[in-house]
Amino acid sequence: MLKVLARLRVPLGFAFAIAAFYLAAPTQTSMCLGFAIAAVGEALRIWAAGHIEKSREVTRSGPYRFVRHPLYLGSSIMALGFVVAARNWWCAVIVAAYMGLTLTAAIRTEEATLDAKFKGEYSAYKTGAAPPVERAFSFARVRANREYRAVIGLAIGMAVLYLLR
pTM: 0.93
Q: What is the pLDDT of residues 118-165, one digit of tens each?
A: 988 999 999 988 888 889 999 999 999 999 999 999 999 999 999 998
Q: Determine the Cα–Cα distance for residues 118 and 66; give it in Å rounded to an integer.
A: 20
Q: Determine the Cα–Cα distance for residues 117 and 135; give it in Å rounded to an integer.
A: 22
Q: Judging by beta carbons within 10 Å of its beta carbon (0-12, 13-18, 19+), is residue 66 exposed, middle or buried? A: exposed
Report how far Cα 163 is from the mean position of its chain's Cα atoms. Answer: 24
Task: Using alpha carbons, list the distances in angstroms from residue 32 to 84, 85, 110, 136.
Answer: 9, 7, 34, 32
Q: Which domain does 140 fall in, by range? A: 2-164
Rg from Cα positions in the chain: 17
Q: Determine the Cα–Cα distance for residues 53 and 43; give it in Å rounded to an integer.
A: 18
Q: What is the pLDDT of residues 9-68, one digit of tens each?
A: 888 998 999 999 999 999 999 999 999 999 999 999 999 999 999 989 999 999 999 999
Q: How many independent structural domains does the chain possess?
A: 1
Provide mean pLDDT across the span 60-88. 97
Close Cβ partners of 46 (under 8 Å, ≥ 6 residues apart)? 142, 147, 151
Q: Determine the Cα–Cα distance for residues 112 and 103; give it in Å rounded to an integer.
A: 14
